[in-house]
Amino acid sequence: MTLFWIILINLAISLLSFVGVSTFASKNLLKGKLTCIFISFSAGVLLSAAFINMLSEAIHDGGEEVLIYTLLGIVFSFFMERSVLWYHHHHDDTHNIKPIGSLILYGDAIHNFIDGVAIAATIIISPVAGISAAIGIAAHEIPQEFADFMVLIHSGYDKKRALFLNFLSALTAVLGGFAGYFFVNTFEGTLPIALAITAGIFIYIAAADLIPELHEDHHKQSSATQIVPFILGIFLILAISSFT
């Protein structure tokens, strides 16, 4: 029965990846000035999620030495992006897809897997505490999943494919739930490292891809269009973190 609840809760959290379906309401929602707003908001969400949620938890559980793995995540992202760019250069059919899309999927998959393990471990100890933990994780996931979806759109995927890929990466929470149920003690020492690596990937995406693109478009958009959504993304994660 415990395993059933672990799977059900993690599946419910995975379904939050479909938050991007809200953009289907308008054909023009992802065009022009609104694109800049969403990219700026996504950069703020990813940076704050990395520093406020992932790194703080990683350091709390694994000590400051896990920060070296954040650097590893950034270096990994750099080489991954270079390799994907090389691949796209030699395959004309994929030249419209930016490598940042692959990075956000990798990062999100690792993060969701960790969430699944955490929920499983908490439910095993106390079902009530497990539900509370799931609510807290869900609150963080809604803005982050929307940001992930927007990064995929920005990478060149159409809406339906972006939703599908985002859902696939979210399903790793269910795998994490299985792993946490059967091997919770095995993952105890590795979760802070995985969190630190994921934080590095998210920091790289925001700092190396999203923010530079905003700088390139500064002459097309007003400063408020870029700055306000960026700050709102940060404060949203701060607010959610303070209440969960």
What digits encode the pLDDT tens for the residues 11-28? 999 999 988 877 665 555
Ranking 48-62, 88-102, 227-241 by mean pLDDT, the lowest is: 88-102
Confidence of residue 104 (pLDDT cuts 50, 70, 90): very high
Judged by DSSP in three states, 122 sits in helix
210: DSSP letter: I
Buried b (16+ CB within 10 A) or exposed e, 160-194: eebbebbbebbbbbbebbbbbbeebeebeeebbbb
Whether residue 64 has pLDDT greater than 60: yes
| Distance in angstroms (rounded) separating the CA atoms of residues 184 and 176 | 10
Which pLDDT does position 199 carry in this prediction?
Answer: 94
Which pLDDT does position 98 carry in this prediction?
Answer: 80
- pLDDT per residue as tens digits for the range 79-101: 888 876 665 555 555 556 788 88
Q: What is the mean pLDDT of the chain?
A: 85
17: DSSP letter: G
